[in-house]
Amino acid sequence: MTSRVRKVVQDGIATITLDAPPLNVLGPDLRADLDAAVAAVLADPGARVLILTAAGRSWPAGGDIHEYDHPEADPTLRDICARLADAAKPVVAVLHGTVLGGGLELALSAAVRLAEPGTTLGLPEVSLGLVPGAGGTQRLPRLVGARAALGLLLGGLPVTAERAREIGLVDAVTGGAGAAAVALARAFLTGTAELPTAAERSAERRVDAEGWLAAVTAAREGIGAGRLPAPGRIIDCVEAALLLPGDEGADFERTAFEDLRATPESAALRHIFLAERRAARPADLDRLEAQMLYRAGIVGSGGAAPLLATGLLTAGLSVTLVEADQTALSTALARVARLHERAVERGRLSPEAREAEWARIGGATEGAALATADIVIEALPDEAARAEFLGGFDGLAKRGTLLATASLPAEVARLAEASGRPAAVVGLAGGGPVPGARLLEVVVTDETAPETQAALLALVRRMGRVPVRATDAPIGPRLFAALRTAMDHLVEEGASPYAVDRALRGWGFALGPYEMLDLTGLDAADERRRRQAIRRDPARRYVAVDDRLLAASRFGRRVGRGYYRYEDGGARRVEDPSVLAIVSEERAAKGLVARSVGTAEIEARALAALANEGVLLIEDGIARHPSDIDVVMVAGWGFPRWRGGPMQEADRIGLLTLRNALRDYAREEERFWRHGAVWDELIKNGMGFADLNRV
C-alpha cells in the first residue's frame, strides 16, 4: 500500500486512512489506492467493520477539477461509492475539515457519518455548471429528504456540521470523532448497536411520494426559465431518485453529469474557478511563506477606505483609522459602523461577530498611532495631503511595515518612490460599482519585493476578496474604458445608451456601462478623464456626450439624474428622453446620421473591445495571463460568470473570427480598434488564450 492510503486491521475493525495532503483531493492516484484498500477490506473475513478517515487538515475536499475536461479515469469515484454503499459490512465515515463535492459523495456511501465540530459539508457542483456524478443526487435526498437535498444541491453552499446533524446528513457531531467511531464499531461487533435503518436516518420518513414530488415541483417553479442548464438537471435527478430503481437513478445522474460537462457554460465556470485560484496564488510566489499581518492603519477615509476597514476586520486584523481631526475621524468611524449594521441587517454578520470586530477598531488624529502597524493603507483625498504623508512615512512606520495606496493605484510607482520604501509598496484597486463585486487588485511595480506581493495576496484572501496581481496600473479601469469607448461609438452612430445597457444585461452582464457610470458618478469619471486628457491622442475619436450631461448637472444617481432619471428616492430608474435629445444633438454637431444598431452588434463589439484590450494589457506587461483579465471582469465588473470572462469567451468563439472582426472595425476607427500582435501569433500557431495561462 502506498503512502496515499493506509490500511490497518485490528480486532475485527479495519481502518482506512486517506493521506494525500493538503486536502486529500480525490484524483486518479488516490482513487486507485482507495479502491484497492476497500476491495482488500471487503474481501478480508477478519475485517468486520470498516472505518474511513482522513489524515491532515481535511477529509477529501472534492475531486480534481482538471479531470472534468476528460472522461474520468478508472477506478471512478462512482464505482468506489457504489462498492461502499453496497458493502455487507458496516462502514463508518469520520469527517473533519471541508467535506465537499466528491468528498461528500464518498461520505454519503457510508452507513454512518460522524463529524468533528467545525466540519463543513456541501455539494458545490452547481457552481461549476454540473450535477454531482458519484451518487450525490440519489443518496442525499433519500437520506435528508427531497426539500433539504434540493436546498443543498441548488444553493451549492456548505452547511455546518451542526446543521448537517439537524437535517440528518450526519449522525453525530462530536469531538474525538475517530475514537467515537472505534467505540461504535466495537458496539457493532458485540451486537450492542445496530445500523440505523434508512427510515431512522431519513428526514423524509414521515413524507410520502406526494411530498417528495411537491418539493421537486416547487424547485422547478423556483428556478423559472433560468439560462443555465445545471439547476434543472439537478431537479430531474432528485426526481429520479424517487421514481427509478437505484442503479437506473445512478445511470440517470451520470448521463446528466456527462451532458453538462460538455456544455460551454460548465467549461466557462470551471475555467473561472481555476483562474481565480491561479490569480490568488501565482506560481512564482508559491514557494514563499506569506508574512502574517496583524495590525493595520488606514490614513484618510476617501474612496474605498470604509470597505477596506471592514475587510481587514473580517480578516482578523486590528485597525486604526487616522484622520486630520476629531470630526473627520468620527465621520470615518460612522461610515464603517454603517457598513457593519448593513451586514447585520442582511444576515452576513451576526451581532456577536459585529461586536467582536468593532472591539478591534480604533481611531487617532496623530500619525504616531501607526508606529506598530504591519500595514498602512493610504486613502487620502488630495495630492497635497498625500505628498505630506508620504514624505514623513519613513519616520512614522517601523521597518518592515507595508504601504498600500488606495487613492491612486495607477500611480503606484511614483508613490512608491516618494515613500522611500519601494520594495514594500503596492496599490489596491477594487472593482466597479457592481453589487457584490469581490475583486481587489494588488498593483505592484518592478521594485515591489516578492515577499510584499505574497503578503498582500494572502491578506486579500483573508479579507474574503478575490485578488489579482497587476503591474504598474490596475487592469479593471482600462477594460471598462475600452468597453465604454466601443459603446460610446455605437451610441454616437445610432444606438441609445438604454439599448446598450439592455443588450449587455440580456447577454449576462450584471449592469450596463451607463448604469455603472450613474452609480460611480459622471463627475468622478470626468475627473479621471481630465487626468488622462493630456495623454490622449488628439486625432482619436472623442465622444462628448458625457461632457454635455455634466454641463446639464446630470452627475448620476446621487443627484437623481445622469444617463437615467431616478425617482422614488432613487429606487426607480427611468429612461430619460432629454438624454436622447442630448445624444441627438451631439450626432448633429458632428454631421452624423443615425443608423440601425442591433443587439447582436452591441454584444459583438463589446466582447471584441474587451478581448482586444486584454491582449494590449498583456503586451504592456500590466496583466500576466489572459485568465487574470477574466477574473477582473467577472469578480469586479459584472461580466457573466457562466461565460468565463472575455478571453475565455474569445477562445470559445474562435480567435480568427474575432481578429477578423477587429480588422473590420479598424476600417472605421483604426486608432481604437487596432489589434494587438498576440492575436496573429496565437492564430499562426493554432493556439488560444488558454495556452498563455500555462506559461
Q: Which one is predicted more confidently, 304 or 295?
A: 295
Fold of 288-472: Rossmann fold (3.40.50)
What's the DSSP call for residue 496?
-
Which runs of E-coded beta strand occur in 445-528?
A: 466-471
Q: Distance between CA atoms of 141 and 125, rounded to whole angstroms?
A: 16
691, β-bridge pairs: none
Residue-wise pLDDT for 460-474, tens only, equals: 999 999 999 999 999
Coil, helix or strand at residue 559: helix
- Among 104-113, 144-153, 222-231, 581-590, the range scoring the smallest mean pLDDT is 222-231
> What's residue 32's pLDDT?
95
Region of residue 11 (phi > 0: left; psi between -120 and 50: alpha; otherwise: beta): left
Q: Distance between CA atoms of 449 and 529, rounded to whole angstroms?
A: 31
| Full-model pTM | 0.92
Coil, helix or strand at residue 427: strand
C-alpha cell at 112: 454512518
Q: Are the C-beta atoms of residues 18 and 3 closer than 8 Å to each other?
A: no
Residue-wise pLDDT for 481-523, tens only, equals: 999 999 999 999 999 999 999 999 999 999 999 999 999 988 8
> What's residue 203's pLDDT?
46
Residue-wise pLDDT for 345-378, tens only, equals: 888 888 898 899 999 999 998 888 899 999 999 9
* Closest to 544 measured CA to CA, from 520, 577, 522: 522
- When mean pLDDT is compared over 11-25, 195-209, 559-573, the highest value belongs to 11-25
User: What's the alpha-carbon Rg for the chain, to the nearest Å?
Assistant: 28
C-alpha cell at 621: 506587461
Over pLDDT 90: what percentage of the chain? Answer: 73
Output the CA angle 85-88-209, nearest 5 degrees: 50
Question: Which is it for the CA torsion 155, 161, 162, 168, positive or negative?
Answer: positive
Q: What is the mean pLDDT of residues 91-111?
A: 96
Q: What is the mean pLDDT of residues 662-691?
A: 94
Domain ranges of the chain: 5-262, 288-472, 478-621+624-692
Q: What is the mean pLDDT of residues 674-681?
A: 94
- Could you tell me the pLDDT band of residue 94, with boundaries at 50, 70 and 90? very high
> What's residue 199's pLDDT?
46
Q: Distance between CA atoms of 74 and 76, rounded to whole angstroms?
A: 5
Same fold, 5-262 and 288-472: no
* Closest to 470 measured CA to CA, from 462, 460, 482: 460
Other beta carbons within 10 angstroms of residue 479's beta carbon come to: 26
Residue-wise pLDDT for 375-390, tens only, equals: 999 998 888 888 888 8
Tell which CATH classification among 3.40.50.1110, 1.10.1040.50, 3.30.70.100, 2.60.120.620 matches the domain 478-621+624-692. 1.10.1040.50
C-alpha cell at 612: 482586444
Residue-wise pLDDT for 241-261, tens only, equals: 999 988 999 999 999 999 999
Q: Are the C-beta atoms of residues 238 and 146 closer than 8 Å to each other?
A: yes
Q: Is the backbone peptide bond immediately before 22 cis, with ω within 30 degrees of 0?
A: yes
> What's residue 78's pLDDT?
95
pLDDT of 339 higher than 50: yes
> What's residue 204's pLDDT?
44
Q: Are the C-beta atoms of residues 646 and 639 closer than 8 Å to each other?
A: yes
Q: Distance between CA atoms of 6 and 285, rounded to whole angstroms?
A: 33
What's the DSSP call for residue 204?
T
- Could you tell me the pLDDT band of residue 133, with boundaries at 50, 70 and 90? very high
pLDDT of 624 higher than 60: yes
Residue range 5-262 in CATH 1.10.1040.10: no
What is the CB-side half-sphere exposure of residue 269 using CA atoms within 13 A? 19
Place of cell 500557431: 685
Q: List residues with catalytic annotation.
A: 105, 125
HEC string of 88-138 equals CCCEEEEECCEEECHHHHHHHCCCEEEECCCCEEECHHHHHCCCCCCCHHH
Place of cell 444541491: 153
Q: Which residues contact 479 (CB under 8 A, 6 or more apart)?
A: 610, 613, 614, 617, 629, 632, 633, 637, 646
Over pLDDT 70: what percentage of the chain? Answer: 96
Q: What is the mean pLDDT of residues 68-76?
A: 88
Q: Which helix (H) or strand (E) holds 16?
A: strand 13-18
Listing DSSP states for 596-655 in one string gives ---HHHHHHHHHHHHHHHHHHHHHTTS-S-HHHHHHHHHHHS---GGGT-HHHHHHHH-H
